Chains A and B, each alone.
Chain A
C-alpha cells in the first residue's frame, strides 16, 4: 500500500532531522477568502495544515480558538465551504497534507459517510474529532481507514496505560499528544522536560507511529520540544489573526511571518 501523504510528510522531516511543523487555523477565519490566503501563506513553511471546523459549543478550546471560531461562523462559513477551501488549497503549488479538526456534531449532522466521502473527494488527508474519543471512535476510525483517511487519535496526560495501549493499537499514521491538562491555548504549566518524559513513554509503546505534541506551544516554547516527531501550533496563530484585525494589519502577512519564524526555531 502506498504511504499516506501524512506519513510521507513525517518521513521528509525526519530526513531533515527536525520535527514536523503542524499549524492549526480555523476555516473561514477571518472570512472564507482570507482563510484560504492564510493557508497559502502558511504552506511554504508548515509540513501539515490542520484546518479547524468550528463548532459553537466546543468543550476543548480556549479563548483564542473560540474567538476565531465565532468570527468564522459569524462570517458565514459552512462545511461545504471548508471542503471547497481544501480543494482549492490542494491545487496550489506548495500544498501540504490537510487535517480537518472539529467536533463530532458537525460530522454527525453532515452524516458520517457523506463526510468521509467528501473528504476523500476533495483531498482531506486526516481527521481529528476532539469529542469522539476511543472507544466511541472505533467504527468511525475504521471507516476513515477504509477510505485512506487518517483518523488521528488523541492521548493526554490523564490517559490510563490500559487505554493508551489500545488507543495506539487502533491509531493510524499519526497520534496527537495533549501536552497538559488544558484547553487549547493555555499557558504551558508543565515543564518541557516533563512533557518529553511522558512523550517518550508513549513513543516507546510503538515507535513507528508519528507522535506530535500540541497545546500551549508558542514561539517561546517550541524550541524546547524539538525532540518530538511533530509540533502543533494553533492558538498562537488564532491570536495573531485576532490581534492583526484589532491593529488593522494584514493577518495573511502576519501569519506567514509567524509560521516562518516558528519553522526557523525547529532547526535551532
Chain B
C-alpha cells in the first residue's frame, strides 16, 4: 500500500520524475511544452517561498477574493436528519461565487511575474473560466477561455459573466464537447502560443506544475477552516468528516490540505464523484468505480477509458464534475487509503439541493450538491458528537436553468 509522508505537503510528495507513489502524475507532454513547463516550475518554486509574493497573494486573497469565507452549522438540516451535526464551509461566498478564484488569482499573479500579457484557461461549469476572466481583468491581462459547446449551453450564466469581463470564449466542438475536450484544446493552444501566453489549468489536473499551483492556491480554504473549527469546538473534534465533491479535485484538495496528517479515524476525508443519471453507465466516477490507470492531459491517473486507451465520454448533471479523469493527488489519497471515495447520482444531488433549499439559506451549486447528498445519506446513522463539514464550493446561480427544468422551482 502507498504511504503518505507526514509533515510534508501532499503536492511535494513526488519523486524526481514528478510521480506520486511512482504511479500517478508526471509530465506526459509534447516536447514543445517541456520548456514552458520548466519555466513555470522554476518561477513557482522560487515565488512560493518568497515573502513579498506571499504577501501579495495574501493581500489579494483578503481584499479581492474576500477571506475567510463563512463556516456555520446547518441547524435545520441537522435537526431534520437527527444524527451528526452538519456544518457548511461556504466557499461560494468568495468573490465570483466559487473556489476557482484562488487558483485564477495565483495564475494571474504568476502571469504578471512571467511578463506575459495573455492568459488562457479551460472551464467546465464555467466557474474556472469566469474567475480567470475576472482575475485577468483585475490584473490587465488578455484572456481566452476554452469551453465545450455542450457546457456553453448549459452554463450560459457564467458565459455571460466571462464575456462581460472581456474574455473571449473559444467554443470546443470536438469529442464529448465538455470539459475533457476543452482542456485538450486549451493545451493545444498553449503548444502553439507558449512564447506569449500563460496557461491556467482549472483544476488539480494536467502536468505536475499545474496540479501543484492549483492545490497550493485552494489550500487557503483549509487554512481558514482549521482556525474556524478550533474556534467553534476548542480543538479539532474527535470525529470530524470533511465531505467534498470531486471532479478534477481542486476544491477537495483545498478543503483537506491542513487535515491530511490527522489520523483518518479522527478526520475522515470523503470525496463524492458524479454518478450521473441513475440509469446511465457513463459515470464520471473513476475513483469510485475502479477505473484503470492511464494518461490524460499529461498525467497518469485513474481515468475512464476503453481497452484501447481511448478516453470515454462521461455524463453528469453537473458540468464541473463531468470529467473522465481525476487529480493524481486524489489517486494517491485513494491508494494510501487516506481518503474514501464514493459517488452520488444526478437525482441524489438534485434531491439534496431541494432539501437544503427548503431548510437552509445556502444554495449550493450542483457540484457541492453531490457532497451534500452523501452528508444527508450518512448523517442519520451517526451520533451528534460527529461533525460533518461540507464544502459548499459553488453557488447555484449558474444552475438555475437546469434546476428549474428538473425540479420546477426557482432559486
Chain A contacts of B292 at CB under 8 A? 109
Is A181 a contact partner of B30 (Cβ separation < 8 A)?
A: no
Known: A57-B184, A178-B31. A186 touches B192 (CB 8 A): yes
Q: Nearest B residue to A66 by beta-carbon distance?
A: B174
Chain A contacts of B297 at CB under 8 A? 57, 59
**B191 at the A interface (CB under 8 A):** yes
Known: A60-B188, A78-B308. A108 touches B295 (CB 8 A): yes
Known: A105-B294, A136-B26. A61 touches B31 (CB 8 A): no
**B310 at the A interface (CB under 8 A):** yes
Chain B contacts of A41 at CB under 8 A? none
**A159 at the B interface (CB under 8 A):** yes
* Bound-complex Cα distance A195 to B26 (A): 30
**B318 at the A interface (CB under 8 A):** no
Interface segment out of the listed A150-158, A200-208, A249-257: A150-158
Known: A62-B188, A182-B191, A183-B188. A156 touches B311 (CB 8 A): no
Is B310 a contact partner of A70 (Cβ separation < 8 A)?
A: no
Which of A59, A70, A108, A157 is in CB contact (< 8 Å) with B309?
A108
**B194 at the A interface (CB under 8 A):** yes
Interface segment out of the listed B32-40, B222-230, B253-261: B32-40
Interface residues of B in 283-333 (CB under 8 A from A): 292, 294-298, 305, 307-311
Interface residues of A in 89-148 (CB under 8 A from B): 103-106, 108-110, 130-136
Main secondary structure of the interface of A (DSSP, over half): loop
**A79 at the B interface (CB under 8 A):** yes
* Bound-complex Cα distance A136 to B17 (A): 8
* B interface residues, tally (CB under 8 Å): 37
Is B32 a contact partner of A178 (Cβ separation < 8 A)?
A: yes
**A73 at the B interface (CB under 8 A):** yes
Is B29 a contact partner of A133 (Cβ separation < 8 A)?
A: yes
Known: A60-B188, A104-B295, A133-B29. A158 touches B309 (CB 8 A): no
* Bound-complex Cα distance A159 to B36 (A): 10
Q: Nearest B residue to A61 by beta-carbon distance?
A: B188
Is A181 a contact partner of B308 (Cβ separation < 8 A)?
A: no
Is A158 a contact partner of B32 (Cβ separation < 8 A)?
A: yes
Known: A59-B188, A60-B191. A105 touches B30 (CB 8 A): no
**B28 at the A interface (CB under 8 A):** yes
Chain B contacts of A181 at CB under 8 A? 32, 191-195
**B66 at the A interface (CB under 8 A):** no
Known: A136-B17, A158-B36, A182-B192. A73 touches B310 (CB 8 A): yes
Chain B contacts of A130 at CB under 8 A? 30
Binding site for B on A (CB under 8 A): 55-62, 66, 70, 73, 78-79, 103-106, 108-110, 130-136, 154-160, 163, 178, 181-183, 186
Binding site for A on B (CB under 8 A): 17, 26-36, 38, 174-175, 180-181, 184, 187-188, 191-195, 292, 294-298, 305, 307-311
